[in-house]
A and B are shown apart, each in its own frame.
Chain A
């Protein structure tokens, strides 16, 4: 484990002409992207656009077919060992207690830190239980704690709120934001929920057909974001752009529009 990557603060993430194909099928076609340390970036796009592949490349579950992928700490050293993931499913080991799940890894478990991290996600009273008895939102908080355990330099969030009910989702979004403000890791959130993307991110990337189709800066102060009209406007323009992009490629992407994309337009102004 690289020591410098464990100090607090995020890592720099850079993709250069990154490509990924599975056999004949090209999924990512030349991604150029730089994410500053500590920035919160959301990636939106329709299913099959390649956004999840981007995340899987970053955490080493896939290898790029061409191009460069860098994760660098403040001293310029490779910080890929500090990349942590929260998946859409909690993916907890059912046979280990909540605390043991958080302490997973080849290193000797630091149980005291595990307890502190669980406390920071509000689960200090469930540490010795099995994941099977927790609710969906609680399991996802355990997964968050597990990712926080080793001072991540980059936190990858792969639709982590997708399976949660509406109220639990708001709670979980707030928790992620608060933890990010506290730890200042670099965050990459993959989501198909545009309102969620603009709510949490500094910058929203739209991926379409394996390319970054557009980037949107979100400059609304975080404290004023929920229910902000300006935020709703940004969300609307992101959605417009998604539909533009997909209507021009209508024949290449036959999938139907995910229903969440439509309902989100209404959800943003109403979601106070």
Chain B
């Protein structure tokens, strides 16, 4: 088998495998929950089985599949741009900025405005304000310094986290509880209108990111490397940070700040399937969505009738995994 055939075989096999898992998650997981659902009753549109499946479990599963994919895709993108397997939009403070925006909206009691969820708007504004500050802070000599981004991001992260605590403290008991609940990160049943908007945004942004897959490969090696192979580095990085932030803010607005999916999934795909972003990006999206949907399902069956938030389940799996990744890194890699 020639190298070209081998490459396309690996790509096709990996994509089919990831798509099959994604599809299986979409078809099977809505049926799993604290209470059993009868297939025959659903097919006959009988309540409550039909209602539970369609209005609760299916929308939750779809939200997890889309949001998990978006978070995983954003993580893969940021890791390529910052050339660090531990980098995520959380590292740069963008996720905390989005959370601050959403928390501000909740604290002010503006959760919907003419039917539009204001947490979306708040999260988007928060993410972009932080993005502008972080990039502005890292801009030197007409270039963006990756090291500067990380340091500025850490500082902004702390500032945003402090504002979230302050807002939570002054929001009153009921709103403070809503903020705390939102900050855990969870997948709740949501309207199909919200899901459709998220799906359209994620599809468009995801397609734009995927269409530049070869350029992310080049940027993952280095900026000089990319520049001398045809990439407009400044434009590409600006585009990457904006697109990644849209994905992150869009997902977080509906789920709250769910971490680790953007860290674990790209790492597993990179080590087990391929580091080539032409394969890595679609596989990370598909497997990221499937993982979050699975964590949400585990969360609703592990201690019925209570539910564990998907963010908590993922953190319980992701935390030890993160420690394991750090232990696997050689001293040279930590420089």
> Do these two chains really belong together in a complex?
no
Write the residues of chain A forming the contact surface with B, with a CB cutoff of 8 angstroms: none
